[in-house]
A = this chain, B = another copy of it.
């Protein structure tokens, strides 16, 4: 049977420690050449809608023989890039029926080829971004790191904090985001969820001054952390390539990136202007950083490099691009636990396989 799982199922099954554990193992496999990551591709075209939105069909694949799985993650998005203040954001419109988004993870067996499970990507996507940055904290932050300053209070910010709390004994968190109500609500929620006091503050400087760990977790495609804010001993972490100003990255003592893929493969209709793929924003930002020359998280986890040697070093983890490989790892855990706990809808595997040679 092929299992159809919901975001609720994924949320129940995939804890942050689970996800950090499975990714840690999977990254080690990848570093040893025993896993496969196919770089994300973005196929972008006019959407045919009345608004200025574009259509983006995004896909990324991963295979982990050790776990017996392959995965394809697909996003079928209606996207706009509004300017909010001085920043440009990437905003997905919930344009599917019922005001919903379309993102899927298809999990396959690498021993039989069969489809094991199909599930939405949203909850898993958020947990795996947190888990990757949490592993950055585990291997790079000071062992006695206790305080976190975070920029952003949106969808990604919560799992960033959860992961930091798994990796280190965090005792205090300060958060800044531009809209007061958002950061206040976020801090109240996080304090309750994590059992660590999370304080909303009214400037980015107030959030990050003196923090042992500085987390950027925004949806901007412009920089939000700047060189003059660097402090000795800090660990910086970003969920997206443009968030940390290039000059700041250059000043860090050790920088690790998620992957050597420097950006998604863009395939677009002729003469289409895709804002985040333009020269000055998004994937164009931090273009001066030679990502291929920097070590990766898998290399760090496999022990090929050291994350930190001295307490006063400034370390930085740039989660520059997500991988389908992460969905294969997390998907394997979710599928195993769903089977154990009897969650999800079973559909006949025959619906998704065939007796004719493809």
Contact = CB atoms under 8 A, between A and B. Distances in A.
Contacts of A112: 78, 95-97
Given A77-B113, A113-B102, A114-B102, A120 B57 contact: no
B57 A65 contact: no
Contacts of A120: 352-354, 356, 358
Nearest to A356: B122
B72 A355 contact: no
A22 interface: no
A269 interface: yes
Contacts of A7: 354-356
A350 interface: yes
A203 interface: no
Contacts of A345: 351
Nearest to A93: B113
Contacts of A125: 358
Residues of A in contact with B, size category: 35 or more
Contact of A95 (B61, B113, B351, B357): B113
Interface stretch (A43-51, A140-148, A168-176, A306-314): A43-51
Question: How many monomers of this chain does the complex have?
Answer: 2
Contacts of A65: 45-48, 55, 269
Interface in A190-235: none
Given A101-B113, A354-B103, A43 B47 contact: no
A29 to B, nearest CB: 9
A36 B43 contact: yes
26 contacts: A4-B351, A34-B45, A35-B45, A36-B43, A45-B110, A48-B65, A48-B111, A55-B65, A55-B110, A55-B113, A57-B108, A59-B59, A59-B61, A72-B72, A76-B108, A76-B113, A95-B111, A95-B112, A98-B350, A100-B114, A101-B353, A101-B355, A102-B352, A120-B358, A122-B358, A155-B357
